[in-house]
A and B are shown apart, each in its own frame.
Chain A
């Protein structure tokens, strides 16, 4: 039996097993209700077959088996080992298989958790299996990775050089875990509604899953942004590009969701709202995938795409939405417990934050999909400039920061506004003074900048104070530490982004060897140009030295790489990270020119942007360990 057939058989087994499990959603209510299926065995079969076929695919790439179409299209025998492996999921078919693997992995891990309510467990697993079934069917019908090639060749076409990057090899799997993680959240909602189990205990079970997905999504977005920063060579890290927005939308909904689960867990209110957010978050994950994979978006990031694939995802989304909303419509009257929320309380703060996050979501959603609608109905091609996002999100961000400052320090149930304001007043005045001093002594700031920066700084200081106050035993695993870290991270992120956009400078030079390039207080000397040879490319490397009174402080080696499989030219940036600013050099050579084009960016606070995302992820990790401990 050929390896490809083995892969097909594995996926067919998975399809069958997931179908049998998914049917459990219906057959307790039919005359077959007596049939007992072993959900434990089925779940394990599903997971093992998915894992085996994914490993098989990697093996095919490793041995450069050019009997298979996918390997021919995406690999090359001379490619470095790590990119052969990454090639397995660096394409539509492979990434779909990875998507299914993650779906079944979450299903499997959920099976092994110590939740005693088997009725609930069975329904969650069945709904998750329904999704696995849908995607496996899609894979087998339209995008089979184990398809044999029609024309036998001895060599592959290669992987797009721009994708031959270590970070890009790990970025999609991480993002996928985030997206797909919200599938189990939706399954929780469906299972909980069927078994009438939307209560505090349910919220406690759900909580770690919401955080896990959030951690991976945050990390995935961060890595993607980091990659765009050094690989694309534009000096930017976020372009409000549709593909980026596609990952930001589930993040916003997911962030709202996990704040809201906290209220449900504590106060046993807002059941409907949590359910709706669960449905919304996974739907946005699907829409995100749809937007990226269907190719209907005009993006700076391009992917192999095919409209029919997009159509499937849309149909699938519709089915998921119909099932979950029908269920919601039936169960909604029994869901909500009587609730009254005081306007000055922690739960009110979280709820306000929820609305603000959803408002931002609305802004991003509109900006991303409006061009599509215009294209569809008016046959006009448009794009939305970054200014739209910046201007629309600014007021929301202001309110969000305010709520993030006062929310965490207020008490559950009922609090006095004066108490809250008093407890943060000193830190607020301190922050205002610092920003004012900066504005007077260093560089004049506009009013909006002063307001935003002050709020960011206050948020960070208040969160630090809170973290210390509520965590006196210095435990690393604690929800309050996690919260503080994540909030400090968010404050720092906005602060650094504002500082970065305000103070960044860039200059373009047409330089010849021995030229002196001056930008701000930095002097660079253009030393030489060499030709070098890499593993699977030829490179032209230029050398620049950063000078301080004729002594060389740093050397920069930006490159132009010429790949032959497939033939592509890329620019490699050279970045030196200083504590306060990045120095970023990228170059290229116009045809027939005797000079090189050099662009130098000075980008302040760049390291802080990455650090702030790490803080947020660490915050998530800290609280996830606490949550897992809580379930045990």
Chain B
């Protein structure tokens, strides 16, 4: 009887210990996950949130017709992302991807300056000419502006 108890105790301790390790590891991983999440906003959603200038976010929508400009002096690209309801001014230094075009879908990653402008660190390109980022479709759908072809 006594022997049995020791065996059970040993097993219990092992189980508890491994569970503890598991919980700690999971907590560490999930905290890490939370810190590294990049949120996506449509121009309209960006109006509704409190801007944190430290956080990297993504904004997507259509590139507004006629808004794409480049300044040779400052080497800054400027364009406007719209979900046909609200607009965001984007400034970007770097290489604009080939598939970037006015009236097409785009997603930029960067830091918001205020609720209507963002400094992009990346302009994300997609492989396919006809491809529309799913977030952009969602953003347009939410505003009822989405027309499937």
Q: Which residues of A contact B (CB under 8 A)?
A: 160, 162, 295, 298, 300-302, 359, 362-363, 366-367, 370, 380-388, 391-392, 508, 510, 560, 566-571, 586, 588, 590-591, 593, 597, 599
The answer to whether B144 has its CB under 8 Å from any CB of chain A is no
Question: Does A508 lie within 8 Å of B37, measured CB to CB?
Answer: no
CB distance from A75 to the nearest CB of B (A): 17
CB distance from B18 to the nearest CB of A (A): 10
Q: A298-B135, A392-B29 are in contact. Are A383 and B38 (CB under 8 A)?
A: yes
Q: CB-CB < 8 A to B36: which residues of A?
A: 384-388, 391
Instruction: Provide the bound-state CA to CA distance between A391 and B25, in Å.
Output: 12
Q: Which residues of B contact A (CB under 8 A)?
A: 25, 28-30, 32-33, 35-40, 56, 58, 68, 70, 72, 75, 77, 93-99, 124, 126-131, 133-135, 138
Q: CB-CB < 8 A to A385: which residues of B?
A: 36-38, 56
CB distance from A553 to the nearest CB of B (A): 25
Q: CB-CB < 8 A to A381: which residues of B?
A: 39-40, 58, 134-135, 138
Q: CB-CB < 8 A to B58: which residues of A?
A: 381, 383
Closest to B39 in A: A382
Q: CB-CB < 8 A to A383: which residues of B?
A: 37-38, 40, 58
Question: Does B127 lie within 8 Å of A359, measured CB to CB?
Answer: no
Question: Does B40 lie within 8 Å of A508, measured CB to CB?
Answer: no
Q: A383-B58, A597-B96 are in contact. Are A298 and B33 (CB under 8 A)?
A: no
Instruction: Provide the bound-state CA to CA distance between A386 and B32, in Å.
Output: 11
Q: CB-CB < 8 A to B97: which residues of A?
A: 588
CB distance from B33 to the nearest CB of A (A): 5
Instruction: Provide the bound-state CA to CA distance between A597 and B77, in Å.
Output: 12
Question: Does B135 lie within 8 Å of A160, measured CB to CB?
Answer: no
Closest to A385 in B: B36
Instruction: Provide the bound-state CA to CA distance between A229 and B140, in Å.
Output: 32
Q: What 6 A-B pairs come out closest when comparing CB atoms?
A: A388-B36, A381-B40, A385-B36, A569-B98, A381-B135, A597-B95
Question: Does B124 lie within 8 Å of A300, measured CB to CB?
Answer: yes
Question: Does A302 lie within 8 Å of B33, measured CB to CB?
Answer: no
Instruction: Provide the bound-state CA to CA distance between A599 and B96, in Å.
Output: 11
Question: Does B126 lie within 8 Å of A359, measured CB to CB?
Answer: no
Interface CB pairs A-B, < 8 A, 7: A160-B127, A363-B29, A366-B30, A383-B38, A387-B36, A388-B37, A510-B75
Question: Does B98 lie within 8 Å of A570, measured CB to CB?
Answer: yes
Instruction: Provide the bound-state CA to CA distance between A578 and B90, in Å.
Output: 38
Q: A384-B33, A388-B32, A388-B33 are in contact. Are A160 and B128 (CB under 8 A)?
A: yes
Q: CB-CB < 8 A to B127: which residues of A?
A: 160, 162, 300-302
Question: Does A367 lie within 8 Å of B33, measured CB to CB?
Answer: yes
Question: Does B134 lie within 8 Å of A298, measured CB to CB?
Answer: yes
Closest to B38 in A: A383
Instruction: Provide the bound-state CA to CA distance between A370 and B29, in Å.
Output: 12
Closest to A587 in B: B95
Question: Does A508 lie within 8 Å of B39, measured CB to CB?
Answer: no
CB distance from A305 to the nearest CB of B (A): 10
Question: Does B126 lie within 8 Å of A382, measured CB to CB?
Answer: no
CB distance from A546 to the nearest CB of B (A): 20
Q: CB-CB < 8 A to B98: which residues of A?
A: 560, 569-571, 588
Most buried by B among A359, A387, A392, A510: A392
Q: CB-CB < 8 A to A295: which residues of B?
A: 134
Instruction: Provide the bound-state CA to CA distance between A616 and B39, in Å.
Output: 37
Instruction: Provide the bound-state CA to CA distance between A508 and B77, in Å.
Output: 14
Question: Does B32 lie within 8 Å of A382, measured CB to CB?
Answer: no
Instruction: Provide the bound-state CA to CA distance between A388 and B94, in Å.
Output: 25
Q: CB-CB < 8 A to B135: which residues of A?
A: 298, 381
Q: CB-CB < 8 A to B29: which residues of A?
A: 362-363, 366, 392
Instruction: Provide the bound-state CA to CA distance between A371 and B126, in Å.
Output: 19
CB distance from B99 to the nearest CB of A (A): 7
Question: Does B95 lie within 8 Å of A588, measured CB to CB?
Answer: yes
Q: CB-CB < 8 A to A388: which residues of B?
A: 32-33, 35-37
Instruction: Provide the bound-state CA to CA distance between A363 and B31, in Å.
Output: 12
Question: Does B38 lie within 8 Å of A302, measured CB to CB?
Answer: no
Question: Does B138 lie within 8 Å of A591, measured CB to CB?
Answer: no
CB distance from B58 to the nearest CB of A (A): 7
B68's partner among A300, A387, A591, A599 (CB-CB below 8 A) is: A591
CB distance from B59 to the nearest CB of A (A): 11
Closest to B102 in A: A591
Instruction: Provide the bound-state CA to CA distance between A517 and B26, in Å.
Output: 48
CB distance from B88 to the nearest CB of A (A): 16
Q: CB-CB < 8 A to A298: which residues of B?
A: 133-135
Most buried by B among A359, A383, A391, A568: A383
Question: Does A391 lie within 8 Å of B95, measured CB to CB?
Answer: no
Question: Does A593 lie within 8 Å of B70, measured CB to CB?
Answer: yes
Instruction: Provide the bound-state CA to CA distance between A386 and B36, in Å.
Output: 8
Question: Does B38 lie within 8 Å of A508, measured CB to CB?
Answer: no
CB distance from A593 to the nearest CB of B (A): 7
Q: CB-CB < 8 A to A302: which residues of B?
A: 126-128, 131
Closest to A359 in B: B25
A384's partner among B37, B70, B93, B124 (CB-CB below 8 A) is: B37
CB distance from B49 to the nearest CB of A (A): 11
Q: CB-CB < 8 A to A386: which residues of B?
A: 36
Closest to B60 in A: A381
Q: CB-CB < 8 A to B133: which residues of A?
A: 298
Q: CB-CB < 8 A to B138: which residues of A?
A: 381
Q: CB-CB < 8 A to B39: which residues of A?
A: 380-382
Instruction: Provide the bound-state CA to CA distance between A162 and B135, in Å.
Output: 23
Closest to A381 in B: B40
Instruction: Provide the bound-state CA to CA distance between A160 and B68, in Å.
Output: 26
Q: CB-CB < 8 A to B77: which residues of A?
A: 590
Question: Does B32 lie within 8 Å of A588, measured CB to CB?
Answer: no
Q: CB-CB < 8 A to A586: which residues of B?
A: 95
